[in-house]
Structure 1
Amino acid sequence: MLVVTIEATAPTTGTVLLYGHLDKQPPLGDWSDGLDPYRPVRKGNRLFARGVADDGYAMFSALLAIEELERNGVPHARCVVLIEASEESGSPDLEAHLDVLGQELGNVELMVCLDSGAHSYDRLWVTTSLRGVLNVDVTVDVLERGQHSGSASGVVPSSMRIMRQLLDRIEDSATGEILLSELQPQIPMSHVTAASQVADAFGDVAGQEQPVVSGLELMGADAAERILRRSWYPTLSIVGAQGLPDSSIAGNVLRPSTTLTLSLRLPPSCDPVAAETAVVRALTTNVPSNARVSVNAVTASGWVTPELAPWLRAALEEGSTQAFGNEVAYAGEGGSIPFLAALGQRFPAVQFVATGVLGPDSNAHGIDEMLDLDCAVAVTNAISHVLSAHAAQGK
């Protein structure tokens, strides 16, 4: 973790933490002609490369926001910029780093996270909630070694069929609904209302930004429900597999095992430990055909923003209006930022601002990742205003 401390220029004892991360996802696949994950390419106001938006811009944005205040003689509180180096791996070292930093962080009053999303690039979007995540590697073994399918099939059960039966305990494969009660959301009515307001004002923001194939029917009855499905509903995605040969070299072999990597997004208020226990129990209890099953799971907590103080709500409105020319907007996001939950537990009275540049076509974790430079500059200016407003509270 990279730690940068900038001492206060305002007469205040409070500290502002500004968070981002510098590690990146793998390139995933072949990028479009002229683009490269490791060689930044600028096209107009867009910058393409792996990690530019998630979350390479954040360190520069945080430091520039502070530099702008100092250049203009505007006071700010003590600022600590924390840049994590293992966020994309689930933040396995985060708690240890925070333990070591301890009192060095000081009296934290405001936390600014620059790793979140935006439904558009024309205003500041502030995140109101984040889902948790449960990553599970599950392996089903049926043979010590592969066998000719002509001699073994019909006698030895398929590891994939058993895997499908196990997954059916977790998810209704016809609808995508999660069946385990431990993973079901308790959605606050305020967030239901907010989703309807976002849908009314901005349309089908959760659906329209997806690069779906022609004619695909989206999940959810309407725009508001899709916003909630992306930000508050549990979902299961299969994100990796082992034991499956490439189709170009696949033979008539009954495979000895199947391994799938599951990504379960958890509701923001869901207990990740209870969720892990329920999922592991579903995968390992009364296994069909008495097959051998092994499971390895890693969890990260979701997060719901505390109520914003009046001064902060006003500063966000002013910052968005000044930087973007439009009022601020609020919405839940479907991803996970373990740092926010960790800080919330350590500093329960802290004020939070989670924002970012992961908007339409930003392609985080995918090919052709893109940073909208105009949005990045505007977010930086808006955060600079928030830092100024925070310092003014200490006068």
Structure 2
Amino acid sequence: MNARDPNYRPLDPAALGRFAEQLWDAEIVPALIDYIAIPAKSPMFDADWAAHGYLERVVTQAAAWVESKRVAGLKLELIRLPGRTPVIVFEVPATKPECSETVVLYGHLDKQPEFSGWRGDLGPWTPKLENGRLYGRGGADDGYAIYAAITALLALDAQGVPRPRCVGLIETCEESGSFDLPAYLDVLRPRLGEVSLVVCLDSGAGDYDRLWLTTSLRGIVSGVLKVEVLTEGIHSGDASGVVPSSFRILRQVLDRLEDSKTGRLLPESFHCEIPGARLEQARATAAILKDEVYKRMPWACGADGGPVLPMTADPVEVLLNRTWRPTLSVVGVDGFPELKNAGNVLRPYTAFKLSLRLPPLVDGNAAALQLKALLEDNAPYNARVSFVPDGRAGALGATGWNTPELAPWLSQALEAASQDQFGAPVGYVGQGGTIPLMGMLQQGFPKAQMMVCGVLGPKSNAHGPNEFLHVPYGKRLTAAVAQVIAAIP
């Protein structure tokens, strides 16, 4: 598109920003307040999700909002495959003549569970807007996505700026690993067309001062490791020294996987070579964020009165640790009584919920099988040791993602959008989380460019207590997305 084209309309970046800001204030924030109040937990955390109807409520509300915007030519469908979580699909025809390209805009509406530790006046289902931050579960991760996507298209149409065909895909199973999504992609693939750009609004930001493009995502293997030694608990005075502690056996088993002194994962197959381009981007990002890459964490007070120390204080190493190196976390326990109920009893079993983050280039399913064998084989004392991965839909683990090389037009568009909407150069950063859709779409549409971005910046604390959406950043990100879509050749 150029100025000699009779359909050309010059884009006004400032007007995009004003449009996004007005709609966010007038409609998006109120809609998100309603959304946060609904405990629409992902099916992994709510086995009775269908009976409870919360996922149905959030997709119905979001769909009604989209239809109320009366985007020209909009087609919206709520798809409910039998036994699967619902999906919203909307399609907006191209306004750019003779354009066969398609933009896919992705988000999700399911949420993580409540977690503990919320500030006294906050809660996961009690939304509160304070100093530009909208607190509550799911607003930033990422209930805002469908509203921002439609607003970006409306902002372009308001200026008469031509754009390609756009298809929205909003699921409700992402926080459970998107195990329902492949079935929907099989159904929708013929309708998606020739995808030239995927805009994923489910990621994070290094700070709130620029547009951030996510360059990689880690994979994950999660599941329950359980060690059983007795059929029932017995007095520790009678049994200790005779019956091996299930917790001690579990520690021994985990020692096969992790160096407890350094946190390094021992099997080399769980590691991968870090691409040179990602090393250079990590150095550039470290120069921008400096020690804020670790200081932004809510550190507890340490032994000497200062904060607990990070695993490394080198900003480059911090970035690489959280994006390109495997890490084990224990995110849940079972088999332990509450402290107030803990008597002198040798417990019959210990169970840990493990979360193993994998580098982007390590196969998640192969890693899950190796992890299961590593933990279960040759159990100490012949104890019953089992590891049951959470994976579903034929895969035991989720593989990460590394963005394909950016086309020149996209690099230029991202830089222009960041400068126009934020007044700063675009930033590039890997993310430690997992978005299974990205690998699926890259396999299905290998020629598509990927714009993975989001509002989860410093202290936004997705999945944890006091999660918030940084509203001013959401407004600017919406305008930036609009600007990039308009730049598609």
TM bucket normalised to smaller? over 0.9
Give the residue type in structure 2 aligned to 1:41. Answer: K
Cα-to-partner distance string for 1:119-155 (whole Å, 9 max, x where unaligned) = 1101100001111011021111111111111111111
Matching of residue 5 in structure 1 with residue 91 in structure 2 = yes
Out of 121, 125, 139, the residue aligned to residue 208 of structure 2 is 121
Greater CA drift, 105-114 or 27-36: 27-36
Matching of residue 277 in structure 1 with residue 369 in structure 2 = yes
Q: SS of the residue aligned with 1:378?
A: helix
* Equivalent residues in 2 for 1:141-290, closer than 5 Å: 141-214=228-301, 215-220=307-312, 222-290=314-382
Aligned to 1:85: 172
Task: Work out whether residues 180 and 278 of structure 1, in 8 Å CA contact, stay in contact via their aligned partners in 2.
Answer: no
Matching of residue 136 in structure 1 with residue 259 in structure 2 = no
Aligned to 1:291: 383
Aligned to 2:49: none
Matching of residue 34 in structure 1 with residue 121 in structure 2 = yes
Matching of residue 313 in structure 1 with residue 405 in structure 2 = no
Cα-to-partner distance string for 1:135-184 (whole Å, 9 max, x where unaligned) = 02111111111111111111111111110000000000111110011101
- Structure with bigger RCO (C-alpha 8 Å, 6+ apart): 1
Distance 1:314 1:205 in 2: 27
Task: Work out whether residues 363 and 398 of structure 2, in 8 Å CA contact, stay in contact via their aligned partners in 1.
Answer: no
Distance 1:382 1:292 in 2: 54
Deviation at 1:314, TM superposition (A): 0.5
Task: Work out whether residues 222 and 356 of structure 2, in 8 Å CA contact, stay in contact via their aligned partners in 1.
Answer: yes
Structure 2: gaps (5+ residues) = 1-86, 302-306, 392-396
Aligned to 1:370: 468
Distance 2:409 2:269 in 1: 37
Task: Work out whether residues 35 and 41 of structure 1, in 8 Å CA contact, stay in contact via their aligned partners in 2.
Answer: yes
Greater CA drift, 218-227 or 355-364: 218-227
Cα-to-partner distance string for 1:215-264 (whole Å, 9 max, x where unaligned) = 32211251111110011110000001111111110111111111110000
Cα-to-partner distance string for 1:2-42 (whole Å, 9 max, x where unaligned) = 11111111121111000111111112124213223212211
Distance 2:232 2:114 in 1: 33
* TM-score normalised by length of structure 1: 0.97
Distance 1:254 1:44 in 2: 50
* TM-score normalised by length of structure 2: 0.79
Task: Work out whether residues 417 and 480 of structure 2, in 8 Å CA contact, stay in contact via their aligned partners in 1.
Answer: yes
Q: SS of the residue aligned with 2:330?
A: strand
Distance 1:166 1:202 in 2: 38
Matching of residue 52 in structure 1 with residue 150 in structure 2 = no
Out of 334, 358, 361, the residue aligned to residue 459 of structure 2 is 361
Give the residue type in structure 1 aligned to 2:298. Answer: P
Distance 1:240 1:213 in 2: 20
Distance 2:149 2:197 in 1: 13
Deviation at 1:185, TM superposition (A): 2.2
Q: SS of the residue aligned with 1:231?
A: coil
Aligned to 2:109: 22
Q: SS of the residue aligned with 1:248?
A: helix
Matching of residue 300 in structure 1 with residue 392 in structure 2 = no
Distance 1:248 1:265 in 2: 33
Greater CA drift, 59-68 or 44-53: 44-53
The two structures, once aligned, show a CA RMSD in angstroms of 1.1
Q: SS of the residue aligned with 2:253?
A: helix
Distance 1:262 1:169 in 2: 14
Q: SS of the residue aligned with 2:322?
A: helix
Structure 1: gaps (5+ residues) = none
Distance 1:103 1:44 in 2: 45
Cα-to-partner distance string for 1:273-298 (whole Å, 9 max, x where unaligned) = 22112211111111100111222112
Distance 2:140 2:288 in 1: 25
Distance 2:360 2:246 in 1: 33
Deviation at 1:198, TM superposition (A): 1.3
Task: Work out whether residues 294 and 313 of structure 2, in 8 Å CA contact, stay in contact via their aligned partners in 1.
Answer: no
Greater CA drift, 70-79 or 166-175: 70-79
Query: How much identity, in percent, do the aligned residues show?
Result: 50
Give the residue type in structure 2 aligned to 1:371. Answer: L
Cα-to-partner distance string for 1:343-392 (whole Å, 9 max, x where unaligned) = 111111110000011001111111111111110000000000011011xx
Give the residue type in structure 2 aligned to 1:53. Answer: A
Q: SS of the residue aligned with 2:369?
A: helix
Distance 1:103 1:256 in 2: 53
